[in-house]
Structure 1
Amino acid sequence: MLFINTRPTDRAAGLTRALLEAGYEVAELPLLELVAEPFSEGLQQLYRQLVQVQVIVVVSPTAVELGMQYLQQAGIKPEQLHHIRWIAVGQSTAQVLARFNIQSDVPQVENSEGMLDLPLLKQQKNLNKIAFWRGLGGRQFMMQQLQQQGVEVLNFVLYRRQCPQQSSAVFAELLTKADLHQPVAVLISSEASWNYWQQLCTQMQQSRPWLFLVLGARLAQLLETAAAQTGKVFNIIQLENLSASEIIQGMRDWQGHV
């Protein structure tokens, strides 16, 4: 069975290796690449306010690296942030934070809903100011939910996401090799990656049935709605996180029922 690993190039290797060891054929097709936004006066002003926040939400390993790089450029010392609690969207982000000697809270479900369910956000009545280290367009739902609760949000846009230029050519090559009669599994880890996947399928006029492994209930619902609107049949596996073990177990459970 072919598995299309759509993780960004710098994060794909571990999952690809685990899938190959589990006996799956794997093709890497990154749907997102992250491009740093330049350090600006707007970011400088946000960093000046950072010591006032109670929580910093970090949404990716790239956000950690850029956030810390720009922290230094802004003239803020890490010890000035010792009073702040940190939330990492997943274990990979938490591991990068740990390299900077920062401990973070990590949700069981590695998405916005999972983070909102953390006791740090759900039960803290005195939370009034929170910072997001994120990419352009990301985590809108989570920020809106917090703002509706009266929390002030400092919005650090550290990078933008785009579909790699070479992905169209890679996708076209994959289609020539993929057996029309064999299921093809595709990892969809965010709404942005889903949007780019649909663009690729439209460009290549692809309507074959796919097996989608998606992160979290909201993304699964998004795909179910798209299937209903287009009349297509999607096979969907809902993931709680993006670990190789979770993905492989989801694949095996699905194969055991078909």
Structure 2
Amino acid sequence: MLFINTRPTERAYHLTQALDFPVLELPLLELVPNKIDIEQYQQLAQAQVVVVVSPTAAQLGLDGLKKSGVSLEQLEHIQWIAVGKTTAQVLQKVGINAYIPELETSEGMLQLPILRNINKGCVAFWRGRGGRQFMMQHLQAQGTTILNFCLYYRQLPDHSPQIFKQNLRYIQHNMPIFVCISSEASWHNWLLLCKHYPYLIKQCIYLTLGERLTQLVQHTALLVRQIQNLTPKSIQEAVKEA
């Protein structure tokens, strides 16, 4: 068997080291910072809630606050949501305590009481380009004002197609193959890598994060297992149950 760890390079190491079966690191996403105007950070005090969707978003957002001259004291009224524990740890380093959903997805965050009761308030998103569209649309439909901080964009790393080609024979001879799919963007990049190998798409077992992503992958793939988070424990349990 083989587990393909598709997490961004800076997040893959811990997961790879914690697993007790063969792993191939094949990042499907890399995060490239965007420039955000200082004036946008100065609007942040209007928000009641800030949603932080990744460790990268947390760090880039905090860096932006520092450059803009906005202090955390000016944001004391704000409640923070982190998509997962790693993101929350970045915020905790500067004294920000964040709510963390049980399910580390948009759906999980929307179930938090703080967002279910936001009504017509204002929510800021520290996110990547193209991410969390479902979540923002859901809140906007309820009359919530959105402050959109697009802190980075995601792309397929330049070296990933080469890694894929160099390891294709190894992948083909190590069935079953488990592939971690953590976002819609990573799924589309996996399909791009495999466009000349449709049989491989059908043969793999996909570990997908959350219900909505699972349903998306099921439109194309036959073998899909939903996971609740990206911890080594969740990955190992899903592999053993497959």
TM-score range, shorter chain: over 0.9
1:185 aligns with 2:173: no
1:148 aligns with 2:141: yes
Q: How does 1:1-258 map to 2 (within 5 A)?
A: 1-19=1-19, 22=20, 24-39=21-36, 43-125=37-119, 127-180=120-173, 182-202=175-195, 204-208=196-200, 209-227=203-221, 234-254=222-242
Equivalent position SS for 1:160: strand
Runs of 4+ in structure 1 off by over 2 angstroms are 178-181
Superposition RMSD in Å? 1.2
User: Residues of 2 paired with 1:178 and 1:226: CA distance?
Assistant: 20
Equivalent position SS for 1:178: helix
User: Residues of 2 paired with 1:165 and 1:179: CA distance?
Assistant: 22
Aligned residues: 240
Percent of aligned positions with the same letter in both sequences? 50
Offset of 1:133 from its aligned partner?
0.4
Residue segments in structure 1 that go unaligned for 5+ positions in a row? 228-233
Contact 2:206 2:224 in 1 (8 A): yes
Offset of 1:48 from its aligned partner?
1.6
Offset of 1:179 from its aligned partner?
3.9
Matched residue type, 2:188: N
Normalised TM-score (structure 1): 0.90
The residue number in structure 2 matching 1:230 is: none
Residue segments in structure 2 that go unaligned for 5+ positions in a row? none
User: Residues of 1 paired with 2:231 and 2:50: CA distance?
Assistant: 24
Offset of 1:226 from its aligned partner?
2.5
Offset of 1:181 from its aligned partner?
6.5
User: Residues of 2 paired with 1:121 and 1:190: CA distance?
Assistant: 22
Equivalent position SS for 1:71: helix
Distance 1:159 1:98, change over 3 A: same
Offset of 1:137 from its aligned partner?
0.5
Offset of 1:85 from its aligned partner?
0.2
Contact 2:2 2:174 in 1 (8 A): no
User: Residues of 1 paired with 2:133 and 2:189: CA distance?
Assistant: 18
Q: Deviations over 1:205-227 (max 9, x none)?
A: 34220010000000110011224
Q: Deviations over 1:36-58 (max 9, x none)?
A: 0124xxx3222121111100000
Equivalent position SS for 1:30: coil
